[in-house]
A and B are shown apart, each in its own frame.
Chain A
Amino acid sequence: MQGNADGSHVWFDPLGLRIEPGQTIRWINLDPGNSHTATAYHPKNFERPLRIPEGAKPWNSDYLLPNESFAVTLTVEGVYDFYCVPHEHAGMVGRIIVGQPGTSPIISSSSQPAGSEPLPESALRAFPPVEEIMRRGIVRPA
């Protein structure tokens, strides 16, 4: 979790990552001037659309102050999309692939709770493609 000096740009680094089932991910807020979250797209988190594998446990780090961290262990294979609560509109999102991505679409209309707010275009544009994460293993911001 990072940001520049005047807060005009914020990002996850890496923003795409491939891991094996059972591995642990840790987010650290390295931005001295802002708070960030790592929050899974899941109906249990503010009724957001489901963008993690069905059956996987959602997470929400809550706000992390500078140098605070949060970790989660992912065991279910598939694609996990997550975002920063106060910065989703700024495109601060990320994607983790555990094992193989599977063939199911990342999101379907049935997985979006009625009345839930769709993802902003700025967030949708920011996800690294699944193919790129599988090929490179790690995708960092340009």
Chain B
Amino acid sequence: MRTVVAAFALVAAFSLPALAADQVEKAPPTGAYKKVSELVKLPDFLPGLGQLYVDPKTLPAGPFLAYDREGRLVSTVYMLPVEDLSNKDKRFDDLAAPGGKVDHVDVYFNAGHPGVEKPHAHVVLWHVPKADEQRVAAK
């Protein structure tokens, strides 16, 4: 019996990191993530991106977690100011990537919006196939 208890304790101990990790597959994600539309005045659902969540401490880079209308994670987005990308002394290291498997990546310019006002690049790690991008398209 003692062996069983010890084995269970060992399994539980090794499982702790996984249990402690944020749940991000479904909205709302756990942890320090907040809905972007409640942090700044932006539409709740952004056509092309979806419903965004971010840990405010990680602004402006993110990661931003993007969900479709059913609350399913579709992408992880990083927002990198253009002026920082051209600054040789500025780096973005060790950005969290909690979304799991990446199907493909889009990188494009954005003129800015509340929360990340300066022109920046969106780096989008899509966790769904290209065809499923329409899950966050405009209605």
Residues of A within 8 A of B (CB): 3, 5-10, 32-35, 62-63, 65-66, 85-87, 89-90, 92
Per-residue interface assignment for chain B, residues 10 to 47, with 1 indicating a CB less than 8 Å from any chain A CB and 0 otherwise: 00000000000000000000000000000011110011
Assuming the A-B contacts A6-B108, A7-B111, A32-B138, are A86 and B47 also in contact, with contact meaning beta carbons closer than 8 angstroms in the complex?
Answer: no
Please tell me if the beta carbons of B138 and A5 are within 8 angstroms of each other in the complex.
yes
Please tell me if the beta carbons of A33 and B119 are within 8 angstroms of each other in the complex.
no
Please tell me if the beta carbons of B112 and A90 are within 8 angstroms of each other in the complex.
yes
Add 20 more A-B contacts to A5-B48, A92-B111 (CB < 8 A): A3-B111, A6-B110, A7-B111, A7-B113, A8-B110, A10-B111, A33-B47, A34-B42, A34-B43, A34-B113, A35-B40, A35-B42, A35-B114, A63-B40, A63-B41, A85-B117, A86-B114, A87-B117, A89-B112, A90-B111
Measured between beta carbons, the chain A residues less than 8 angstroms from B48 are 5-7, 33
Please tell me if the beta carbons of B113 and A8 are within 8 angstroms of each other in the complex.
no
Measured between beta carbons, the chain A residues less than 8 angstroms from B42 are 34-35, 65
